[in-house]
């Protein structure tokens, strides 16, 4: 279901509910449960997936009893802003009062859309009332609205508590009156106990832990505090220390988190003293479940992948709300416990006690184990498993804030060879250049940017490279280069002639090298030696499936309906563009190309996007001057992967410039848009296009024609050599005005609607720097999924409208087509110079 359904069911001039405007919500993906007193009282259960709340109506509310299957009827998606809605719906659909029953964050170990498509979503909730693991399982029955079952998993939170048992004085009076009041003192007691939501399970008795802490050598009584404490830090070292006085732990790839407990209350802190309770409710709940009175805990927050390794990218995406990966707090130290200061005790003693504390801990808490001695073998294991590295610690070391020699970090170093494709300017005392820009071989002769290296150079290297490689350079890459950071300032680009061997510590976000440093310049190799010839020359094959194997472009929400009246889905749109790619891509490649994005389908909010946005990795970017004189980073397609990535981002229509990114001020197209006014028959539009063709022919100009997917036609004039925009605009305007004067009953050259009735507007405004026109074979965001299609002049009379071709018919037409209707357009040699001079423009 979609936000289109949400919009159709509501009159926003009468309801207080939020309009379905899509907007990003910062932070973790949320869940919300709302108690809705409509014609039939029910609970609305909502999970944020991307930029919508996937929603189910649960008549009897969630049950903590795993044996109880609660019916959950899938309803339309709601905007994320609906999570904040409370109050009365006074008119129409859903009339009644809405209260917030619970809200929090949620996580799942798998891909959300894949699980929903399969009919079984397993997830965890971290709210005030709803906690632990749950399942949504689709019913096998065919219903008008998809029916699911909401089921509590067997875990430490499972009990006989029902949703109504959780209602209390924090709810509105209207909700409390409507709730089922506990009939007995026992039921009331059950309700009160359940609201504390303390999980069942074994714990190490506090008396046992307190006694163990007091017995450690060097311990002192201390004052409990949940305030921030400065953590102990590790120094970087190339190799592990030797001997039995050192223990060696896995270096987890995540965020350092400090936990303080005082009087049972938990406070989480980032390494730089920022409070993190709101961002990590599952960790707060897990630490609370230990039942400690006071403690200080130190560890690393990680997201765990399918192989049980920490996944830094998944962690970043989950904290940003782009994913719902399970998070784990891996604990490796405990400088305080149950009123005792352990910071001066030996690390081995602290860790042994920490392991006892975590003996029956919830799954979101982990113990970071270690090996005693033999650091080389531990590091070799970390290398084999491709972990980030290890941390070596003195067995008898105390816990000291700050960096010292008691903790050492040895990171995994990988090495590979890359071509140097540019450099940044030197700053401060640095000579020659700041850093070298690196790339790896891509497909079809392209290169892919992987980051920059600015360390590891000797003074001699800096001088030599400054006098040779880092000299001159261009503001745009002289070779096809993918994945450039649009915020890279002041870079100068060169042709790849030098190979650099670089150390790095894994691949970070946006597929860039992490902490690269120069190992050597490979004078024995050339950049083309880096290419895997089989891989580099293999042609890309369109695949009628969710991903493009080479570039891993995944179409998420493939079943989302883009054209609601026609049932055309997002996957259908992607499949269409794959099918027409050989015809669609060549004319638009390397042109600045604004796109019309409709993330929720054509019935939702659609908008033009011309500048690069976060998350795009396969499109090209070019810094171009705008009409205001300021510069902006524009996007443009380079290959199939880039086009499909734009489709993944909700692009439907594509509107390229009449020039290329390398020559933005040189136009190689003139486009006349024939836009018929009201009551203009299609035959008149066809006749008008032929008239435009004939007048152009009299001027010595060859032209081509295409449908627009709307009411009109485009007449396109190729230019070779290209012309400057002032010349093109002057010619287009003069031609349109001359034709309107010669045939005033047919044409008008002004956009004013009051003079366009019954006439055809000859729109020449498509011919200016930054102006655009719809691309050939582009879909249009209109009912019926029409397509703009090039046709032969002799076939124009066979058409019934400018929207004759659709997403369904174009691929079949191309399969039958023996020759491109615009065959030879790129071979036409014609210039405006003589025409402009002859017309006196």
Paired residues of 306 in beta bridges: none
Residues 6+ apart with CB under 8 A from 68: 151, 152
The helix (run of H) or strand (run of E) holding residue 838 is helix 833-839
- Residue 717 CA to residue 835 CA, distance in Å, equals 13
User: How are beta strands 120-127 and 41-49 bridged, if at all?
Assistant: unpaired
Q: What is the domain partition of the chain in residue ranges?
A: 3-196, 206-411, 414-534, 547-654, 666-839
Record the tokens describing residue 657, joined without a space: 């410039």
Which of 73, 69, 21 minimizes the C-alpha distance to 46?
A: 73
Which of 416, 397, 419, 418 minimizes the C-alpha distance to 406?
A: 397
More confident of the two residues 31 and 184: 31
More confident of the two residues 552 and 647: 647
Which of 326, 330, 323, 265 minimizes the C-alpha distance to 299?
A: 330
Could you tell me the pTM of the whole model?
Answer: 0.55
Determine the pLDDT at residue 614.
59
User: How are beta strands 220-221 and 568-569 bridged, if at all?
Assistant: unpaired
Displacement of CA 572 from its chain's centroid (Å): 21
Determine the pLDDT at residue 489.
76
* Average pLDDT for 80-107: 88
Which of 552, 531, 558 minimizes the C-alpha distance to 540?
A: 552
Measured at the CA of 608, the angle between CA 603 and CA 610, to 5 degrees, comes to: 155
More confident of the two residues 646 and 508: 646
At 497-552, the pLDDT tens digits run: 888 888 887 777 677 888 888 887 776 567 887 874 333 333 333 333 333 333 45
Q: How many of the other CB atoms lie within 10 Å of CB of 661?
A: 21
Please determine, for residue 180, whether its predicted confidence score (pLDDT) is greater than 60. no
Q: Are 482 and 443 in contact (CB under 8 A)?
A: no
Please determine, for residue 195, whether its predicted confidence score (pLDDT) is greater than 70. no
**What angle, rounded to 10 degrees, do the helices at 570-588 and 640-648 form?**
140
Q: Are 612 and 635 in contact (CB under 8 A)?
A: yes
At 199-238, the pLDDT tens digits run: 666 788 999 999 999 999 999 999 999 999 999 999 988 8
User: How are beta strands 365-367 and 340-341 bridged, if at all?
Assistant: unpaired
- Residue 168 CA to residue 156 CA, distance in Å, equals 23
Q: Quick one: DSSP state of residue 821?
A: T
Please determine, for residue 57, whether its predicted confidence score (pLDDT) is greater than 90. yes
- What b-and-e string marks burial along 530-546, b requiring 16 or more CB atoms within 10 Å of the CB? bbeeeeeeeeeeeeeee
Paired residues of 418 in beta bridges: 500
User: How are beta strands 87-89 and 96-107 bridged, if at all?
Assistant: antiparallel
Residues 6+ apart with CB under 8 A from 480: 442, 445, 446, 447, 638
The pLDDT > 70 percentage for the chain reads 88
Does 414-534 match 206-411 at the fold level? no
Please determine, for residue 186, whether its predicted confidence score (pLDDT) is greater than 60. no
Q: What are phi and psi of 45, to 5 degrees?
A: -105, 120
The helix (run of H) or strand (run of E) holding residue 236 is strand 232-236
Determine the pLDDT at residue 649.
87
- Residue 393 CA to residue 250 CA, distance in Å, equals 11
Alpha helices in 725-809 (DSSP H): 725-742
Alpha-carbon distance values, 253 to 314, 370, 414 (Å): 11, 16, 16
- Residue 582 CA to residue 804 CA, distance in Å, equals 21
Determine the pLDDT at residue 719.
94
- Residue 790 CA to residue 486 CA, distance in Å, equals 34
Record the tokens describing residue 544, joined without a space: 């009628």
- Residue 471 CA to residue 495 CA, distance in Å, equals 12
Architecture of domain 414-534: Beta Barrel (2.40)
At 695-721, the pLDDT tens digits run: 999 999 999 999 999 999 999 999 999
Paired residues of 786 in beta bridges: 806
Residues 6+ apart with CB under 8 A from 384: none
Determine the pLDDT at residue 169.
55
784: left (phi over 0), alpha (psi -120 to 50) or beta: left
Displacement of CA 191 from its chain's centroid (Å): 41
- Residue 607 CA to residue 562 CA, distance in Å, equals 14
Q: What is the CATH number of domain 666-839?
A: 3.90.920.10
- Residue 345 CA to residue 126 CA, distance in Å, equals 35
Record the tokens describing residue 482, joined without a space: 């993918």
Please determine, for residue 168, whether its predicted confidence score (pLDDT) is greater than 80. no
Paired residues of 126 in beta bridges: 105, 131
Return the residue matching tokens 């209207």.
174
- Mean pLDDT score of the chain: 85
Would you mind telling me the total number of residues written for the chain in this entry?
841
Which of 621, 643, 617, 642 minimizes the C-alpha distance to 632?
A: 621
The helix (run of H) or strand (run of E) holding residue 754 is none
Determine the pLDDT at residue 630.
53
Strand order in the sheet with 651-654: 607-609, 595-597, 651-654
Domain 206-411: which CATH number of 3.10.20.520, 3.30.470.30, 3.30.70.260, 3.40.50.20: 3.30.470.30
Cis amide prior to 657 (ω within 30 degrees)? no
Catalytic residue among 95, 131, 223, 251: 251
- Residue 116 CA to residue 110 CA, distance in Å, equals 10
Determine the pLDDT at residue 282.
95
Tally of CA atoms within 13 A in the half-sphere of 61 that contains its CB: 23
Whether 625 is a known active-site residue: answer: no
**First vs last C-alpha separation in the chain:** 56
Paired residues of 468 in beta bridges: none
Determine the pLDDT at residue 510.
72
Alpha-carbon distance values, 689 to 75, 272, 632, 760 (Å): 49, 67, 36, 10
| 822-829 LR contacts (CB < 8 Å, sep 24+) | 822/704, 822/706, 822/776, 822/790, 825/704, 825/716, 825/718, 826/718, 826/720, 828/702, 828/718, 828/720, 829/720
- Residue 179 CA to residue 168 CA, distance in Å, equals 10
Determine the pLDDT at residue 620.
86
Alpha-carbon distance values, 755 to 375, 464, 680, 739, 805 (Å): 85, 69, 14, 16, 30
Paired residues of 266 in beta bridges: 261
The pLDDT > 90 percentage for the chain reads 51
User: How are beta strands 481-482 and 447-453 bridged, if at all?
Assistant: parallel
Q: 547-654 falls under which CATH superfamily?
A: DNA primase, PRIM domain (3.90.920.10)
Q: Quick one: DSSP state of residue 601?
A: -
- Residue 182 CA to residue 196 CA, distance in Å, equals 17
Please determine, for residue 595, whether its predicted confidence score (pLDDT) is greater than 50. yes
Lowest mean pLDDT among 25-29, 220-224, 531-535, 661-665: 531-535
Q: How many of the other CB atoms lie within 10 Å of CB of 403?
A: 13
At 264-317, the pLDDT tens digits run: 999 999 988 889 998 999 999 999 999 999 999 999 999 976 666 678 778 878
Using pLDDT thresholds of 50, 70 and 90, give the confidence band for residue 149.
very high
Sign of CA dihedral 786, 787, 791, 793: positive
Paired residues of 814 in beta bridges: none
* Average pLDDT for 155-181: 69
Return the residue matching tokens 């050989």.
582
* Average pLDDT for 569-598: 92
Q: What are phi and psi of 150, to 5 degrees?
A: -95, 120
Residues 6+ apart with CB under 8 A from 249: 332, 368, 369, 370, 390, 391, 392, 393
Determine the pLDDT at residue 306.
60
SS3 302: strand
Q: Are 544 and 532 in contact (CB under 8 A)?
A: no
Alpha helices in 140-264 (DSSP H): 173-178, 185-196, 206-214
Please determine, for residue 555, whether its predicted confidence score (pLDDT) is greater than 90. no
Residues 6+ apart with CB under 8 A from 629: none
Using pLDDT thresholds of 50, 70 and 90, give the confidence band for residue 563.
very high
């Amino acid at each position: 279901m979609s936000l289109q359904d949400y919009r159709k069911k509501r009159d926003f001039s009468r309801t207080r509910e939020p309009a379905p405007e899509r907007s990003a919500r910062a932070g973790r993906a949320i869940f919300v449960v709302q108690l809705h007193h409509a014609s039939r009282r029910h609970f609305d259960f909502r999970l944020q997936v991307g930029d919508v709340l996937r929603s189910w109506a649960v008549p009897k509310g969630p049950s903590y009893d795993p044996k109880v299957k609660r019916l959950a009827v899938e309803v339309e998606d709601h905007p994320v802003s609906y999570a904040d809605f409370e109050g009365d719906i006074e008119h129409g659909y859903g009339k009644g009062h809405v209260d917030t029953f619970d809200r929090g964050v949620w996580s799942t170990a798998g891909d959300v859309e894949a699980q929903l498509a399969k009919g079984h979503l397993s997830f965890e909730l971290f709210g005030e009332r709803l906690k632990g693991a749950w399942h949504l399982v689709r019913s096998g029955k065919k219903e008008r609205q998809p029916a699911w079952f909401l089921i509590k998993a067997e875990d430490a939170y499972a009990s006989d508590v029902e949703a109504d048992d959780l209602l209390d004085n924090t709810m509105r009076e209207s909700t409390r009156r409507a709730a089922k009041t506990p009939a007995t003192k026992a039921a009331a007691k059950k309700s009160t106990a359940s609201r504390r939501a303390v999980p069942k399970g074994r714990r190490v008795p506090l008396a046992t832990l307190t006694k163990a802490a007091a017995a450690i050598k060097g311990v002192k009584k201390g004052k409990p505090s949940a305030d921030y404490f400065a953590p102990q830090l590790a120094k970087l070292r190339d190799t592990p220390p030797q001997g039995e006085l050192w223990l060696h732990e896995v270096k987890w790839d995540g965020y350092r988190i400090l936990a303080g407990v005082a009087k049972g209350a938990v406070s989480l802190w980032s390494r730089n003293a920022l409070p993190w309770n709101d961002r990590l409710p599952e960790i707060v709940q897990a630490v609370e479940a230990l039942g400690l009175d006071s403690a200080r805990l130190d560890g690393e927050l990680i997201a765990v992948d399918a192989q049980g390794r920490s996944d830094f990218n998944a962690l970043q995406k989950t904290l940003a709300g782009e994913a719902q990966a399970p998070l784990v707090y891996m604990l490796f130290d405990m400088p305080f416990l149950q009123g005792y200061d352990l910071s001066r005790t030996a690390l081995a003693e602290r860790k042994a006690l920490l392991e006892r504390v975590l003996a029956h801990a919830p799954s979101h808490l982990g113990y970071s184990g270690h090996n005693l001695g033999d650091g080389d073998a531990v590091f070799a294991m970390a290398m084999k498993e491709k972990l980030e590295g290890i941390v070596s610690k003195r067995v008898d070391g105390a816990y000291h804030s700050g960096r010292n020699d008691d903790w050492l970090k040895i990171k995994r170093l990988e090495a590979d060879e890359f071509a140097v494709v540019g450099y940044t300017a030197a700053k401060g005392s640095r000579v020659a250049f700041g850093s070298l820009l690196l790339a790896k071989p891509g497909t079809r002769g392209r290169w892919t940017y992987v980051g920059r290296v600015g360390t590891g150079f000797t003074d001699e290297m800096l001088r030599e490279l400054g006098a040779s490689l880092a000299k001159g350079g261009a503001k745009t890459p002289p070779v096809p280069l993918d994945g450039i950071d649009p915020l890279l300032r002041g870079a100068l680009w060169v042709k790849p002639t030098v190979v650099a061997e670089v150390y790095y510590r894994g691949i970070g976000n946006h597929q860039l090298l992490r902490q690269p440093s120069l190992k050597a310049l490979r004078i024995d190799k050339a950049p083309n030696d880096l290419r895997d010839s089989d891989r580099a020359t293999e042609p890309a094959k369109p695949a009628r499936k969710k991903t493009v194997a080479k570039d891993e472009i995944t179409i998420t929400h493939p079943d989302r309906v883009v054209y609601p009246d026609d049932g055309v889905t997002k996957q259908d749109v992607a499949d269409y563009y794959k099918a027409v790619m050989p015809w669609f891509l060549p004319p638009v490649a390397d042109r600045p190309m604004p796109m019309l994005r409709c993330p929720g389908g054509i019935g939702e909010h659609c908008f033009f996007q011309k500048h690069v946005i976060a998350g795009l990795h396969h499109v090209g970017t070019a810094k171009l001057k705008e009409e205001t004189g300021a510069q902006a980073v524009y996007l443009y397609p380079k290959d199939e992967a880039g086009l499909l990535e734009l489709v993944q981002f909700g692009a439907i229509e594509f509107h390229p410039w009449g020039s290329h990114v390398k020559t933005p001020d040189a136009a190689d197209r003139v486009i006349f848009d024939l836009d018929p006014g009201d009551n203009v028959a299609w035959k008149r539009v066809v006749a008008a296009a032929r008239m435009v063709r004939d007048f152009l022919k009299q001027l010595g100009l060859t032209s081509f024609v295409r449908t627009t997917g709307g009411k009109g036609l485009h007449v396109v004039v190729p230019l070779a050599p290209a012309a400057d925009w002032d010349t093109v605009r002057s010619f287009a305007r003069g031609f349109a005005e001359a034709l309107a004067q010669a045939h005033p009953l047919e044409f008008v050259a002004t956009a004013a609607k009051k003079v366009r009735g019954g006439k055809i507007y000859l729109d020449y405004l498509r011919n200016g720097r930054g102006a655009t026109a719809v691309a050939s074979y582009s879909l249009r965001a209109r009912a019926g999924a029409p397509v703009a299609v090039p046709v032969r002049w002799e076939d124009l009379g066979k058409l019934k409208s400018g929207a004759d071709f659709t997403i369904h018919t174009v691929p079949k037409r191309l399969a039958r087509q023996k020759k491109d209707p615009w065959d030879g357009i790129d071979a036409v040699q014609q210039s405006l110079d003589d025409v402009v001079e002859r017309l006196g423009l």
